[in-house]
């Protein structure tokens, strides 16, 4: 009951813009994967809509510290996304003169940029422990929605090993950050081999997507919790 109250409290602390953006992003990704890629328009509106409105001066919902965290996150997303795209382009086109004719899904590159921005912004603004809690909850809800939209209530029964660890470790991370960090890293390694995610490394988009939205949040949160200094939470 206490954990449920904490969850409700955290959701209430999100701004209406943040809640709407999170809902649009999750709905766009899930519907795009299981129904039609046209639904990615919701993802685009959720990710870029608030940013566009802030740049246009129509939305003023962030303080100076939030804006600074967003700028740093944007720079890191640009840096990591650019390196990722350059590395994949070079690897896929090695030995060929095919500039402008590369075959690589743009949606995967977009996911890399958004993931780096999201993880970086939350960590810079909230600190490691609170960021890990929010990251795990966000992806826990994402996989929960995915399971329900894919197979209804049976989806949760079929994939509890994917959904439940995010919620359980989100709450343990607040009380036992070090132990939770170790478990998160161990769980990410287990998921990597259990789901054969190494097969996505040669360039299979489906495997790379799972690496980005399952393996990466677990590993990132675990490392962030282990790197946090004892007095950093205060």
Task: State how far the Cα of 81 lies from the Cα of 129, in Å rounded to an integer.
Answer: 25
Instruction: Say if residues 101 and 92 touch (Cβ distance below 8 Å).
Output: no
Question: Buried (b) or exposed (e) across 136-171, using 16+ Cβ within 10 A?
Answer: bbbbbbbbbbbbebeeeeebbeebeebbebbbebbb
Residue 133 has pLDDT above 90, yes or no: yes
Task: State how far the Cα of 164 lies from the Cα of 217, in Å rounded to an integer.
Answer: 14
Residue 152 has pLDDT above 70, yes or no: yes
Lowest mean pLDDT among 4-8, 93-97, 175-179, 226-230: 4-8
What burial class does residue 54 get, using C-beta atoms within 10 Å of its C-beta: 0-12 exposed, 13-18 middle, 19+ buried?
A: middle
CA angle 204, 206, 207 (to 5 degrees): 70
Band the pLDDT of 177: cuts 50, 70, 90. very high
What pLDDT does residue 69 have? 93
Query: In sequence order, which residues have a C-beta less than 8 Å from that of residue 25 and are 6 or more positions away?
Result: 42, 43, 46, 47, 114
Residue 234 has pLDDT above 50, yes or no: no
Q: What is the mean pLDDT of the chain?
A: 84
SS3 230: coil
Task: State how far the Cα of 40 lies from the Cα of 84, in Å rounded to an integer.
Answer: 22
What pLDDT, in 10s, does the model give residues 104-127?
777 888 889 999 999 999 999 999
What pLDDT does residue 146 have? 85
Q: What is the mean pLDDT of residues 201-216?
A: 79
Residue 200 has pLDDT above 80, yes or no: no
Q: What is the mean pLDDT of residues 82-104?
A: 75
Backbone angle region of 196, left / alpha / beta, with phi > 0 → left and psi within -120 to 50 → alpha: left
Q: What is the mean pLDDT of residues 170-194?
A: 93
Task: State how far the Cα of 179 lies from the Cα of 69, in Å rounded to an integer.
Answer: 28
What pLDDT, in 10s, does the model give residues 23-68?
899 899 888 888 888 998 999 999 999 989 998 889 888 889 999 9
Residue 221 has pLDDT above 90, yes or no: yes
Helix (H) or strand (E) holding 78: helix 64-93
Instruction: Provide Rg for the chain, Cα atoms.
Output: 18
Band the pLDDT of 86: cuts 50, 70, 90. confident
Q: What is the mean pLDDT of residues 203-215?
A: 81
DSSP secondary structure letter of residue 211? I
3-state secondary structure string, 112-160?
A: HHHHHHHHHHHHHHHCHHHHHHHHHHHHHHHHHHHHHHHHCHHHHHHCH
Query: In sequence order, which residues have a C-beta less than 8 Å from that of residue 115 and are 6 or more positions away?
Result: 212, 213, 216
Residue 216 has pLDDT above 70, yes or no: yes
Band the pLDDT of 8: cuts 50, 70, 90. low
What pLDDT does residue 120 have? 93
What pLDDT does residue 110 have? 86
Q: What is the mean pLDDT of residues 13-27?
A: 84
């Amino acid at each position: 009951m206490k954990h449920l109250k904490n969850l409700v409290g955290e959701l209430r602390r999100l701004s209406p813009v943040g809640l709407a953006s999170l809902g649009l992003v999750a709905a766009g990704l899930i519907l795009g994967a299981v129904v039609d890629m046209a639904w990615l328009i919701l993802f685009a509106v959720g990710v870029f809509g608030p940013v566009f409105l802030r740049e246009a001066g129509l939305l003023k919902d962030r303080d100076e510290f939030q804006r600074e965290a967003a700028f740093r996150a944007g720079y890191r997303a640009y840096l990591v996304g650019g390196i990722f795209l350059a590395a994949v382009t070079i690897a896929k086109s090695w030995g060929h003169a095919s500039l402008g004719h590369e075959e690589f899904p743009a949606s995967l590159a977009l996911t890399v940029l958004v993931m780096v921005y999201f993880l970086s912004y939350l960590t810079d603004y909230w600190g490691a422990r609170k960021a890990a809690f929010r990251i795990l909850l966000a992806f826990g809800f994402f996989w929960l929605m995915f399971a329900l939209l894919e197979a209804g209530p049976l989806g949760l029964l079929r994939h509890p090993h994917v959904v439940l660890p995010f919620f359980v470790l989100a709450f343990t991370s607040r009380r036992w950050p070090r132990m939770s960090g170790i478990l998160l890293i161990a769980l990410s390694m287990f998921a990597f081999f259990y789901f054969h995610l190494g097969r996505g490394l040669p360039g299979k988009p489906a495997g790379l997507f799972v690496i980005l939205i399952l393996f990466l949040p677990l590993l990132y949160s675990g490392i962030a919790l282990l790197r946090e200094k004892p007095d950093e939470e205060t």
